[in-house]
Chain A
Amino acid sequence: MSAEEFLHFAEFELQIIALSFFAIMYAIKAWTMARLPMRWENAPAKGSPGNGVAYSYAATVVPWMMSSATQHWTRWLEFGLYHIGAGLAILSTFTLPFTPQIMTQPVRIVFAVFVALALVVGAIRLWRRITAPDLRVISTPDDYFSLAAVEVFFFLTFMTLVVGTDGWRLAYFLVTAAFLFYVPFSKISHYVYWFFARVLMGVRYGRRGVMPRTGGAR
């Protein structure tokens, strides 16, 4: 297999294999959670479970809804930038090989800026995890590795977007594939459960009239 063929394989066939594996693992995870027993709220409602769920999801992205965000707004900003960067880096794994025509120079620059910011935030997060006693005490090898692995992924995404030579491209897609095989087993898979958790919290707090808040200044 020539270098060119290998790059093609990494960009297409390998990605499809890795994505399929990833999707199957996530489907199993979601199915496993969905079939667990649950005693849903069944007391006469005071509020709306639907509004509660909407509020619950919104609370993640609207900083004034949680005091953990309002008290540490820079941390919330880091959280936002990190996840925007992650989203764009993931999107790039699809757009670069499958819809290259939309990855124009300005688009690449916008993507690269956000991914670079996420890379910086990731480094700050890693440093904090290593040095802050309250984080160190709860950290596992998976925590450190996952953060470091995402940093590598961000770096390669950035280089592929900015430089884009075959070498960077190959490294980027190989790491992406490896990532897709690892993520379902690591804490990076947290977002699958996030959908469940936000619904569970929203239904409970919404039905009980806790969320959305109806009175008083924050």
Chain B
Amino acid sequence: MSQENDALKTALQELDKRYNKTVGVASSNLCTHCGWCVDQCHYYLATKDPTISPVAKAERVRRVYKRHHDWMSRVFPRWTGARELTEAELDDWVEVAYRNCTLCDRCMANCPLAVDTAQILLAARGVLLAAGKAPEMLVQLADSALAREENLDFFKEFFLEQLKELETEVQDRLGNDKARIPVEVGGAKILYVPLSGAHTITPPATVFNAVGESWTISMFEAANYATYIGDIPKAKRIAERILNEAKRLQVEEIVLAECGHAYHAMRWEAPKWFGGPLPFRVRSILEVMDEYVRAGRLSLNRANNPEPVTLHDSCNLGRKGGLFEEPRRVVRAAVEDFREMTPNRERSFCCGAGSGLVAMPEWEDIRLKAGGPKAEQVHATGASVVIASCDNCRHQFLELNEHYELKVQVMGLAELVVRALVPSSSG
């Protein structure tokens, strides 16, 4: 009982700590319960369950905030549906904030009042973390990023061996035995930060070598799972590893792998955590490839990609990151038949796996179901290749492909570019 009380006390303190302008406005009487957001949510569209519409999800957290901050709710909570925070309420929040929402922002973009449901639910995630109720898997993934830094020598040895093998693949693709995956190169222009899979290393390395870029690869991964659980101090430490490496190597800019949340975190959120702009330019590999294409530095043959190709707008790269036209320019330069999904860009649907859901095997059922609207979008294009420039989305598409029998090939943008690359153009 006392433990329960302690958890509730901690949760209430955290709730208060997270009551900033964004959360305060979104959890006020701003929301009129008009229901416009309901069918803008991929969860609702997939399940038709009114209890997991954006407004219904936000309301579960908002009613607790209202109990503490809204005049009417303090005196007549039943009148406004306000509630005190209880243990049961917290357990419900795990479902609401982690399982049933991918924080994709689509509801806010389509709300006449601009209610920021994702920020309310992110606050709930932070409260759950403080109360010890955040999904263990996500906490561990965040911790593992820091463990890599603490045991860097061990990882480094293994990583360097892996890079040697991948370097051979790059050389073979370019027909150039001087192609390199450079490590620890001080003064390089670009510090490229990959993810754990080889698919985030070999294709960008091929592109960098093809244009003769000055670059070096990071010892760390771009992923920052702490952002999913609303753990800002930890997210800051994860970002700091890369910033310190960039400072040590005196690079000019940090370029992130095709990863939605890593881009969102480092490009847009990290400056807030550190209290000002970062000392380095931060870009996604998508922007860098777009620059190469526009400058004519990459020689691409569209005929290498004759099949119909469609592009998925990852929520973190697109609606939360502003990268819409950059990947499109690259795709158009690399394929013969580009087909837009409808809707697209800031109206795009989430793939269903965002915000850490992809890492939670126990929620696979709802994840695949929530990916239904996206699968329909892909199917409607008739494309046989889907470009997913976010690793979580990519993983989800591989599963959606099987689950919905889409019969598509899923790849990242750099992989597509490498397929179109004319090796003779190597710089």
Contact = CB atoms under 8 A, between A and B. Distances in A.
Interface string A130-147: 001111111111110100
Contact of A141 (B78, B270, B281): B78
A138 B80 contact: no
Q: Classify chain B: how many residues form its interface, as a range.
A: 35 or more
Contacts of A33: 21, 24-25, 28
Contacts of A189: 29
Contacts, number: 174
Interface string B15-57: 0000111101110111111111111100010000011010110
A72 to B, nearest CB: 8
Contacts of B347: 67, 218
A210 B71 contact: no
A8 interface: no
B95 to A, nearest CB: 15
B33 A44 contact: no
Interface residues of A, number: 59
A134 B53 contact: yes
Interface of A: 33, 36-44, 46-47, 56, 60, 66-69, 71-72, 75, 79, 132-143, 145, 184-190, 193-194, 196-198, 200-201, 205, 208-211, 213-216, 218
Contact of A196 (B21, B33, B53, B346): B21
Contacts of A185: 71-72
Nearest to A68: B110
Given A33-B24, A213-B346, A60 B112 contact: yes
A89 B37 CA distance: 28
A141 B34 CA distance: 14
A189 B31 CA distance: 10
Nearest to B72: A185
A67 B322 contact: no
B109 interface: yes
A66 B324 contact: no
Given A42-B276, A68-B40, A79-B112, A211 B325 contact: no
Given A33-B28, A66-B110, A211-B346, 19 more contacts: A33-B24, A41-B272, A43-B271, A43-B282, A68-B36, A68-B39, A79-B34, A141-B80, A187-B31, A190-B30, A190-B113, A193-B30, A194-B30, A197-B116, A201-B108, A201-B116, A209-B322, A214-B325, A216-B324
